[in-house]
A and B are shown apart, each in its own frame.
Chain A
Amino acid sequence: MNNLTKKQGPDQDLRSLLKTQHRRVYSICRFFANNYREHQRLFADIISAASQSIRSRRGDESKQVLLLRACMNMAALHSITLDLEPGTDRSIRFKSPDYQKNMLQFRERMGEIPDYEKMQLFLQLENVSPEEIADLTGPLPSRNIVPKEGVKKNFIPYLKEKLIWS
């Protein structure tokens, strides 16, 4: 009886969310996965990341926001992992001819763009508002980084930086 109640609780919510939102997860895979193996791996990673962050959410973020964040975070880790693997085949290879054709067309139209733009494009195509897009990605790191050498820091900010990691 208890098990039955448990199954219909938060897990059921999660299940229904993933059921309605799984297309979004498929969609981000179009940007970052080049073959069906990568597609399967990335999809599973995003789903488990989303379920983890939804289960342990503390703030007032909605489940959809957490799902989209999981999509982008896992896509970023997927790209980093691919960069680390030497000799990764970047050619698009899917078994279904129709899907393969559409993927080739889509990638050709999209061109070579950085991952940050891919993520923004994904959110635009998923009809996410510009304010929400900014909130989901966070600001890009500044390109005008001042070299650390030669910059004297005050003691308190220095100590704060050392003691509180951010």
Chain B
Amino acid sequence: MELKHLKDSWDKFPEVSMEERPVLSSDLEKIVVRNPLSDAFYLKNKILLRILAGTLLLLYNIYQLRIQYLSGGSEMDVQIVIFITLAYFIYFHTRLLLFADYPALLGLRLMPFLQKIETILDKYILSFGVVSILSGFYSLAMLEKVLSWRKAGSLLSNHESSIYKWLIIIFLSVSFYILFLHTIIPKYKKLLAAVRKYKEGIGVRPQKK
């Protein structure tokens, strides 16, 4: 590559034609406020939504725990596990949001920027594990509600059915994870693989065929 020749052509480069010019000054107002990251790279709203949902569920869970505690209910163990899972869920997402620091993300140097995008995607994929566990718990709770409306005696909350209840929760959680693994996760995994590949191959010259 001859830098001198490139410099010559660089200096003589014509302006983009008016027709192809990307931005008119009137569009600038709209452009400066729009989000430059595409939907797949920008997870802020999704994370915020999860934190909000987790907080609401945690408040409901605290209320449920109080009822169980006062009435000496048999569902105390399930409610405690949900409480711990929800607390971890909120902590995980808050930490991810603080780590991502979206306003400052685009001002990072190239390599730390790519590294951060990679970590955010990686952790977001991991978060589906906790989402699956919570989905397991709450789908069972909904199932119980439906059954209790249909037939009062068919609740799974008896001491005898406790082991089956945990088995159902595990089964539902694993099923939800498999569902996520085949629906939502591949999109993020593909993106993560592309970012990793790009980061590792950014300085490698393409081989001539």
Contact = CB atoms under 8 A, between A and B. Distances in A.
A77 B3 CA distance: 26
Interface in A35-51: 36, 39-40, 43-51
A48 B31 contact: yes
Contact of A125 (B6, B32, B41, B99): B6
Contacts of A29: 22
Contact of B107 (A53, A99, A110, A139): A53
Nearest to B197: A83
B109 A94 contact: no
B122 to A, nearest CB: 9
Given A106-B10, A112-B205, A83 B194 contact: yes
B194 A58 contact: no
Nearest to B120: A165
A141 B111 contact: yes
A149 B58 CA distance: 39
A64 interface: no
A80 interface: yes
Contacts of B111: 137-141
A55 B95 CA distance: 23
Interface residues of A, number: 72
B181 interface: no
A47 to B, nearest CB: 5
B208 A112 contact: yes
A137 B202 CA distance: 11
A15 B115 contact: no
B16 interface: yes
A73 interface: yes
Contacts of A74: 36, 106
B6 A165 contact: no
Interface in B164-209: 190-191, 194-195, 197-206, 208
Contacts of B109: 69, 135-138
A141 B182 CA distance: 32
Contact of B123 (A140, A141, A165): A165
Contacts of A43: 22-23
Contacts of B41: 77
Interface in B46-77: none
B6 A114 contact: no
Contacts of B6: 106, 109-110, 121, 125
A96 B32 CA distance: 27
A36 B20 CA distance: 6
Please list the 5 inter-chain residue pairs (A to B) with the smallest Cβ-Cβ separation, ordered nearest first.
Answer: A53-B107, A138-B111, A56-B103, A43-B22, A96-B17
28 contacts: A14-B32, A18-B28, A29-B22, A40-B23, A44-B23, A45-B36, A47-B31, A49-B37, A49-B106, A51-B31, A51-B33, A74-B106, A76-B113, A77-B37, A79-B198, A81-B38, A95-B17, A96-B14, A96-B16, A99-B20, A102-B14, A106-B10, A114-B204, A114-B206, A116-B202, A125-B6, A137-B111, A165-B123
Interface of A: 11, 14-15, 18, 22, 26-27, 29-30, 36, 39-40, 43-58, 61, 66, 69-70, 72-74, 76-77, 79-81, 83-84, 94-96, 98-99, 102, 105-106, 109-117, 119, 121, 124-125, 135-141, 165-166
